[in-house]
Amino acid sequence: MPAPCPQPAAQQIGLLLELAAQLLRAGRPSDAIAPLRDAALLVPHNPIIQHDLGLACLEGGRIPDAILALERAVARDPRYTDAYFRLGIALEKLGNSGGAIVAYQRATELLPSLAEAWFRAGALAYTLGDREEAVRCFRRAAAAGGNTSFGRLSKARALLTEDRDQEAERVLRKALALDPANALAHDLLGNLLSECGRFDEARECFERSIALAPRLAGSYYDLVRCRPVRSDDDGLLERMEAALATPGLEAQQRLRLHLAIGKASEDLGHYALAMGHFDAADAVRRAAAPFDSAAFSIEIERMITRCTPAWIARAPELGCRHARPVLIIGMPRSGTTLVEQIISMHPEAGAGGELHFWNQRGAAWLRSGASGNEKAFVAKAAADYLRVLRAIAPKAARVTDKMPFNFLWAGLIHVALPRATIIHCRRAAIDTALSVHQTYFHPSLAFPTGGAELVAYFRGYERLMNHWRRVLPADRFMEVDYEDLTRAPEPVIRRILAACNLAWNDKCLRPESNPRAVKTPSKWQTRQPIYRTSVARWRRYEPWLGPLRALIDDAAEQPLLHVEPPSQT
């Protein structure tokens, strides 16, 4: 226990804490930071004051300062549940998902009934691709929340994670019948409905969510992606621009709002305004999670060095001969969702969506270096992966995994599963980069969305793909050009199905009829017949491309297509 303060110091601390309390009650957390910091300097070992300072910094948007104070609080009192919980929130806002999960786990160890910590840990686990852990956390949150709005919301998240969408919708509708002002439930229902192609209903949910909780203004991002924005959309663009001034708007909400305004501006033909907001969104992302281009380049070189032709040739010796997996890889926004929709229309194929399996196993493999137990590692990875695919579609002969970033691990995947089909989706570099620049990616994902960093990333990706093209067997590695697929779908689709060893089926020509829920940003596009309006769309933005101009290539020779209305990114 710290020694008691002398009387004058105690009085001074009391006055500082009372002032801070008044400011917090008045909704002025930023102003409360100074008196709390002064109090913490007088009694640096007091965990309660450190916690309160951290909370004020958290509510005032000073996230690094919040983390520092909350870390001091838990160091002084390792059983301080609230400090761990709020430390998790601060780390999450900073994009440190791993650290946030650890903090939430510690909070729930100390207080197992802390439903919101379970819920937040589940949401992060889901984002990181650990579905089993996400379901476990959501179920614990539901149990802790009981027969409350939060308990029902947690139950719905568990059901959604298990792809039990109809059950989840019933739970959410019941939650809203009992608590119509639950903004999070409206937002979650909106996402469910948009994933299932019920866009008009989804828009209404997002509108209600934002009206109830203006700090959820980032939900405009999902709203505008339900369909192209029109000039008669009741001042939607103006409302979104006004929402940028919402007090207490978090960085990620602001980022998504800028992207939403950019999307709406593009739909209305205001390309200069659109690019200004896309650039603003990228600036927010850079401030929160800068990308290390040099480290990425080193990783690419390590991968090329590790995956030699001689090692790839050992695939029959090291790998499992099962042919179920179909991996659809490439840069994000290169047509991977379209290809998965095409394949999963086949009655003998199932769709896995974006699985994080190889991002996790591949990173562990790359860190380990060459070792004597490599065969055991590869065998276990193959067995675990096949178990994941069987759980997704037990009766399917082929199951897709359309995680684009599996392009990093194509060599490892082939060695583990030499009969798996790897489909590389390609699209004109500048169109791909522009679409990336206009899309939201979770801050936990180490991926640039603009500027010279995105150009450098694309160059590294191309370098690695050139390597895979040289070392992987041609009958296991095929490439699909987005421009060819949209120009003449049938011959390309026939080639895709043949590579997957699937018989021809006419249903695959109509991917827009696929009833499955789509959880990627391409929700609206997947419900449209295959179209060409996204080819050479970079020309609309030519004066404002900035560093992305370096990626202009043969696409520059393509004519600008007439767009009616402008296509959704």
Alpha-carbon distance values, 479 to 386, 467, 525 (Å):
23, 14, 22
Tell me which amino acid residue 197 is: G
What is the CATH topology of the domain spanning 1-111?
A: 1.25.40
Distance CA 161, CA 82 (A): 27
In terms of phi and psi (left: phi > 0; alpha: psi -120 to 50; beta: otherwise), the region of 248 is: left
Distance CA 261, CA 280 (A): 11
What count of other Cβ atoms lies within 10 Å of the Cβ of residue 202? Answer: 24
Cβ 272 vs Cβ 234: under 8 Å: no
Distance CA 122, CA 101 (A): 9
Cβ 140 vs Cβ 114: under 8 Å: no
**Which candidate, 419, 411, 426, places its Cα nearest to that of 468?**
411
Distance CA 463, CA 344 (A): 30
Helix residue ranges, H only, 26-148? 29-42, 47-59, 63-76, 81-94, 97-110, 115-127, 131-145
CATH of 295-557, one of 3.10.20.30, 1.10.1740.10, 3.40.50.150, 3.40.50.300: 3.40.50.300
- Give CA 93 to chain center in angstroms: 14
Which uninterrupted H or E stretch holds 308?
none
Distance CA 173, CA 323 (A): 41
3-state helix, strand, coil in the chain (%, to 5): 65, 5, 30
Identical fold at 1-111 and 295-557? Answer: no
Kindly report the length of the chain.
Answer: 569
Cβ 106 vs Cβ 100: under 8 Å: no
Give the pLDDT score at 553. 60
Taking the chain (569 residues) in runs of 10, the rounded mean pLDDT of each run is 59 86 87 90 92 92 93 96 96 88 96 95 89 94 93 96 94 96 96 96 97 95 96 92 90 95 97 98 91 95 95 94 96 96 98 93 83 83 95 96 97 97 97 97 88 97 97 97 97 98 97 92 90 91 96 56 38
Cβ 519 vs Cβ 405: under 8 Å: no
Tell me which amino acid residue 473 is: P
Q: Is the dihedral of CA 134, 187, 169, 224 positive or negative?
A: negative
Provide CB contacts within 8 A for 129, sequence distance 6+: 354, 355, 356, 357, 359, 360
Provide CB contacts within 8 A for 199, sequence distance 6+: 193, 226, 227, 523, 524, 527
Tokens of 395: 């009766």
Would you call 244 exposed, middle or buried from its count of C-beta atoms within 10 A (0-12, 13-18, 19+)?
Answer: middle
Distance CA 303, CA 414 (A): 14
Place of tokens 């939430």: 104
Give the pLDDT score at 371. 56
Q: How many helices (H) does the chain have, and how many strands (E)?
A: 27, 5
Distance CA 104, CA 136 (A): 14
Distance CA 41, CA 75 (A): 16
Instruction: Please write down the HEC assignment for all residues of 255-301.
Output: HHHHHHHHHHHHHCCCHHHHHHHHHHHHHHHHHHCCCCHHHHHHHHH
User: Could you report how far apart the first and last alpha carbons of the chain are, in Å?
Assistant: 59
Name the residue ranges covered by the structural domains of the chain.
1-111, 181-288, 295-557
Provide CB contacts within 8 A for 295, sequence distance 6+: none
**Which candidate, 300, 320, 499, 326, places its Cα nearest to that of 415?**
320
CATH of 181-288, one of 3.40.50.300, 3.40.50.720, 3.60.40.10, 1.25.40.10: 1.25.40.10
**Which candidate, 298, 359, 302, places its Cα nearest to that of 327?**
359
Give the pLDDT score at 445. 82
Tokens of 116: 């919101």
- Give CA 269 to chain center in angstroms: 28
Give the pLDDT score at 367. 83
Angle at 291 between CA 219 and CA 124, to 5 degrees: 45
Q: Is the dihedral of CA 183, 188, 191, 192 positive or negative?
A: negative
Alpha-carbon distance values, 61 to 23, 73, 246, 457 (Å):
16, 19, 13, 30
Cβ 339 vs Cβ 496: under 8 Å: yes
